[in-house]
């Protein structure tokens, strides 16, 4: 019998005010468990036949040529940025180069820029879309600017028309952090297909899950090979686990100062990591990917239902409601609410009360990252002010749209927000 192994709560009774409504969660079903067991029974353990298939399926879904599985979305971002630092890449990132981004971010979207000795340049975002203001980004390009790294905030694509054009016009690399946006499209094309690299996260909060996990996608073989090298210990060789001599010249090359014929498998062209996955992760990734469209459709339905209910309850007077970026079809990760008037409603008091009433909330990740302890002393540049980013830090939060949320829960969430606004609002 099919059993629901996840946090999907459709099948569980909902008691308003008692049953917790998480802001995010996984949906894991019988086929996912069966796939993992299948991979377990292989006892291959490292990346194997399931990883090959999952990489191929991911690439196919995006219409891209290359997908590399890795241990997390954070690792995917690290690999994408680090690949651009390779000495093998003409015009790649060098220490001191600038990378344009936003401070209203997840920390590990921005951290790889700093970890690679580059300088992040921050511009402000739009409060309704949560995404970069493209005209600010255009104004931020300087002589040292080499790349743009941006996430599609909460599943809402950033203005890819403007940003991809800026990257092209200014000859900048573009990394799309799609960790929260699997399935979103811009101008009818999947996000992740506009830049040099796309990254994904499969952490349980995300559209599909492998527990821990992520991927780096690219249409460019040269870039994907660099990311693969950094993922796989920094080696020059690209043999899959358990394979030898894929290049046909394993003992037949002269590389730098190495003895002639030195094993290519043990030749290192980068200071790398080991960020590969296990086949169990890949196995569940395959079954999750097969159901991604169903899960994404539920997120979209929930987002629409929440918007209608919040408007009907008059809550637009209190909150800036989220808006899809023009020309896009988001694949919502969460429902962003920003208190309009800080003096009339205190976000901290509101989220505390929501949690007391069993409604899960999240802040928009790091808020203004520059105010986070780890980022306070980093070398950086800010272009224009970060007024909206600061407002997000003080006045925004998000609630869930994931498939475990249904009509009774949405009704309760909106009813509770309306009650709390009356109680706390001034
Ligand atoms: C936009 C964004 N990028 C990167 C990540 C990191 O992904 P992971 O948790 O898999 O490391 C997250 C995490 O949720 C995220 O929201």
Annotated catalytic residue 66? no
Domain ranges in the chain? 1-234+269-426
Pick the atom of ligand 1 nearest to 202's CA.
Answer: 10
Please check the confidence at residue 351 and state whether its pLDDT lies above 60: yes
What DSSP character marks residue 371? G
Mean pLDDT of the chain: 96
Task: Tell me the sheet residues that pair with 67.
Answer: 217
Index of the ligand 1 atom closest to the CA of residue 153: 1
Substitution candidate for ligand 1 out of 201, 208, 216, 369 with most atoms within 8 A of CB:
201
Tally of residues, the chain: 426
pTM: 0.96
Convert 116-149 into a string of H (helix), E (strand) and C (coil). CCCEEEEECECCCCCCECHHHHHHHCCCCEEEEE
CA–CA gap between residue 111 and residue 102 (Å, rounded): 12
Which pLDDT value is given to residue 13?
Answer: 86
- Report angle CA 153, 154, 155 to the nearest 5 degrees: 90
CA 339 to chain CA centroid, Å, is: 25
* 213: alpha, beta or left? (left if phi > 0; alpha if psi -120 to 50): left
Catalytic hit among 66, 152, 206, 270:
206
Q: What is the pLDDT of residues 240-285, one digit of tens each?
A: 888 888 889 999 999 889 999 999 999 999 999 999 999 999 999 9
3-state secondary structure 200-256: EECCCCCCCCCCCCEEEEECCHHHHHHHHHHHECCECCCCCCCCCCCCCCCCCCCCC
Residues 375-422 pLDDT 10s: 999 999 999 999 999 999 999 999 999 999 999 999 999 999 999 999
% the chain with pLDDT above 90: 93
Pair 5, 32: CB distance under 8 Å? yes
The percentage of residues in the chain with a pLDDT greater than 70, rounded to a whole number, is: 97
Q: What is the pLDDT of residue 1?
A: 35
The matching CATH number, chosen from 2.60.120.10, 3.40.30.10, 1.10.150.120, 3.40.640.10, for 1-234+269-426 is 3.40.640.10
Question: Measured from the CB, is residue 214 less than 6 Å from ligand 1?
Answer: yes
Whether the CB of 134 sits within 6 Å of ligand 1: no
pLDDT at 200 over 50: yes
Is 193 a pocket residue for ligand 1 (Cβ < 6 Å)?
Answer: no
Based on the number of CB atoms within 10 Å of its own CB, is 301 exposed (0-12), middle (13-18) or buried (19 or more)?
middle
Q: What pLDDT score was predicted for residue 2?
A: 42
Inter-axis angle of helices 292-312 and 279-290, to 10 degrees? 60
CA distance 376 to 225: 34
């Amino acid at each position: 019998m099919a059993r629901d192994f996840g946090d999907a709560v459709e099948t569980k009774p909902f008691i308003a005010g008692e049953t917790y409504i998480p802001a995010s969660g996984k949906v894991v079903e019988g086929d996912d468990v069966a796939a993992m067991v299948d991979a377990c029974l292989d006892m291959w353990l490292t990346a194997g036949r399931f990883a090959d298939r999952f990489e191929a399926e991911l690439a196919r879904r995006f219409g891209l040529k290359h997908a590399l599985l890795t241990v997390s979305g954070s690792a995917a971002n690290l690999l994408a940025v680090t690949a651009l630092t390779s000495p093998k890449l003409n015009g790649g990132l060098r220490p001191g180069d600038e990378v344009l981004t936003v401070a209203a971010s997840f920390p590990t979207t921005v951290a790889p820029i700093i970890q690679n000795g580059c300088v992040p340049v921050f511009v402000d975002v739009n409060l309704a879309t949560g995404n970069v203001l493209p005209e600010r980004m255009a104004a931020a390009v300087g002589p040292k600017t080499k790349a743009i790294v941006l996430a599609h905030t909460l599943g809402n694509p950033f203005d890819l028309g403007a940003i991809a054009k800026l990257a092209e016009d200014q000859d900048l690399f573009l990394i799309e952090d799609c960790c929260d946006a699997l399935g979103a499209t811009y101008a009818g094309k999947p996000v992740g297909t506009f830049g040099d690299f796309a990254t994904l996260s499969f952490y349980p909060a995300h559209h599909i899950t492998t527990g821990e996990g992520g991927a780096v996608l690219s249409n460019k073989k040269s870039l994907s090979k660099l990311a693969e090298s950094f993922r796989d210990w920094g080696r020059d060789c690209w043999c899959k686990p358990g394979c030898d001599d894929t290049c046909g010249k394993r003992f037949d090359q002269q590389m730098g100062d190495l003895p002639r014929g030195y094993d290519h498998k043990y030749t290192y062209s980068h200071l790398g990591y080991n960020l590969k996955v296990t086949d169990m992760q890949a196995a569940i990734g395959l079954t999750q990917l097969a159901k991604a469209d169903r899960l994404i459709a539920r997120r979209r339905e929930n987002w629409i239902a929440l918007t209608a209910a919040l408007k009907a309850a008059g809550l637009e007077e209190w909150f800036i409601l989220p808006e899809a970026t023009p020309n896009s079809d988001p694949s919502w990760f969460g429902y962003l609410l920003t208190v309009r008037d800080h003096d009339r409603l205190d976000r901290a008091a509101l989220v505390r009360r929501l949690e007391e009433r069993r409604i899960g909330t999240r802040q928009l990740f790091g808020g203004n990252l520059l105010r986070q302890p780890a980022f306070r002393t980093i070398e950086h540049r800010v272009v224009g002010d970060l007024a909206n980013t600061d407002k997000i830090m003080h006045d925004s939060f998000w609630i869930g749209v994931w498939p475990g949320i249904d009509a009774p829960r949405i009704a309760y969430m909106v009813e509770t927000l309306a009650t709390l606004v009356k109680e706390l609002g001034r």
